[in-house]
Amino acid sequence: MLLCIGPEGTGKTLLLRRLANLTKPDINLTTVPTVGMNITTITQGPELPPISIRELGGSMAPIWHSYFGGVPKVMYVIDAVNMTQLGEATLLLMDLLSHPRLRASQVAIVLNKIDGAMSRGTNELLAVMRYDTLQEKVPQKLVTFEVSALAGKGLRPLLKWITGEK
């Protein structure tokens, strides 16, 4: 089971809903904050097993570590519009990357809401997060994705990463 986490309001629920329904353009775009946990299943086709993704609400950050055991991949979602939250998001990410149970996990940093009116450029966001230093210092393989869950943009590369497709 994969894990999808990030601070409150980053768009995790809508992102997972979009990923699970890529072929259906008319999905319900209304969400409510996740208090607790949601499980989303992504069906890859009749010949491949479905993939389950556990989404943990941002308010659960103090206990995220309870769900880290045996997780091969983690999607860490960041709001590309909310610069005031970026510091908190970076601290939570550093805590996640330093956890012993996630040393062998692959981690995707998902920059969501990239099409927002106040969205910052990817290079600016990664510079503020000191992404280059993070990549050098952590044992995990980090990858980044730019997406818009609302518009459904940038989801296919993320889905390929989730499914392990090259």
pLDDT in tens, 130-157: 999 999 999 998 999 999 998 889 999 9
- Would you say residue 22 has pLDDT above 80? no
Task: Provide the CB-side half-sphere exposure for 117 (13 A, CA).
Answer: 0
Count of residues in the chain = 166
State pLDDT tens for residues 27-58: 777 778 788 899 999 987 778 889 999 999 99
Please state, in angstroms and rounded to a whole number, the distance separating the CA atoms of residues 49 and 165: 13
Q: Looking at the domain that runs over 2-163, which CATH code has it been given?
A: 3.40.50.300
Q: What is the residue extent of each domain of the chain?
A: 2-163
- Backbone torsion region of residue 38, taken as left when φ is above 0, otherwise alpha when ψ lies between -120 and 50, otherwise beta: beta
Please state, in angstroms and rounded to a whole number, the distance separating the CA atoms of residues 111 and 151: 14
